[in-house]
Chain A
Amino acid sequence: QSVLTQPPSVSGAPGQRVTISCTGSSSNIGAGYDVSWYQQVPGTAPKLLIYGNNNRPSGVPDRVSGSRSGTSASLAITGLQAEDEADYYCQSYDSSLSGSRVFGGGTKLTVL
């Protein structure tokens, strides 16, 4: 069981908007620790997509955004494209687990 909970899968048609949730607890997201998101295209290494809850590294399009509220965070992708089909992982820090960086279980995004 992952410390952060994500839906196993989401889907959307090209051009649509999808969101992926990431639910934590009072020892991680709820404690104010930042959330990051990673994209993993099958067969490749994960890539940083969002850091500090809502910041995009250089090269990530502005149709990708993140937010955090309470014990949860969300990743939103608008104008869905075929290239967005991938696995997405949220990540934060957990103060109850001795310096642990923790991941969500991952969400498979399918573009219909």
Chain B
Amino acid sequence: EVQLVQSGAEVKKPGESLRISCKASGYRFTTYWIGWVRQMSGKGLEWMGIFYPGDSDIRYSPSFQGQVTISADRSITTAYLQWSSLKASDTAIYYCVRLDTSGYFFDYWGQGTLVTVSS
């Protein structure tokens, strides 16, 4: 059974750094793109970017390029989403997603990680 299990909720101050994680299991980690989707409170879904663990290829949405870093550790089948300096506007729920083999749609979703950035 495919599972994406994300790390727990975080409360941070503006300017702090943060890395959240997504532990994948139940499939061959290196042969599927894995990525992140943001949902701000009361708003829609926004695709942030994807990472291919097989060769470390990364694609970012133009809206998030330079704002976050997506990575993965193949040895522990875990993907990461990282910020070097959080802003209040980063407050949102972040979902880990797997792309199916076509690479065009998200067939599995994590449970979501709430990130709150407040002074």
A34 at the interface (CB under 8 A from B): yes
Q: In chain B, residues 61-119, which have Cβ atoms closer than 8 Å to a Cβ of chain A? A: 61-62, 95, 99-100, 102, 104-112
Closest chain-A Cβ to B102's Cβ sits at a distance in Å of: 8
Q: Are A38 and B110 in contact, CB atoms less than 8 angstroms apart?
A: no
The A interface is mostly helix, strand or loop, or mixed, namely strand
- Set A33, A48, A103: member contacting B44, Cβ < 8 A: A103
Q: Which residues on the A side are within 8 Å of B111 (C-beta)?
A: 45
B13 at the interface (CB under 8 A from A): no
Q: Are B104 and A33 in contact, CB atoms less than 8 angstroms apart?
A: yes
The B interface is mostly helix, strand or loop, or mixed, namely strand
A61 at the interface (CB under 8 A from B): no
Given contacts A34-B105, A46-B109, contact A51 B45 (CB under 8 A): no
Q: Are B44 and A2 in contact, CB atoms less than 8 angstroms apart?
A: yes
Closest chain-B Cβ to A110's Cβ sits at a distance in Å of: 16
Given contacts A36-B106, A45-B111, A48-B105, contact A103 B95 (CB under 8 A): no
Q: Which residues on the A side are within 8 Å of B46 (C-beta)?
A: 103
Q: Are B104 and A46 in contact, CB atoms less than 8 angstroms apart?
A: no
B32 at the interface (CB under 8 A from A): no
Given contacts A2-B44, A46-B95, A89-B45, contact A101 B104 (CB under 8 A): yes
> 10 shortest A-B CB distances, which residue pairs?
A36-B105, A99-B59, A106-B44, A45-B109, A101-B47, A103-B45, A51-B105, A105-B44, A45-B112, A93-B104
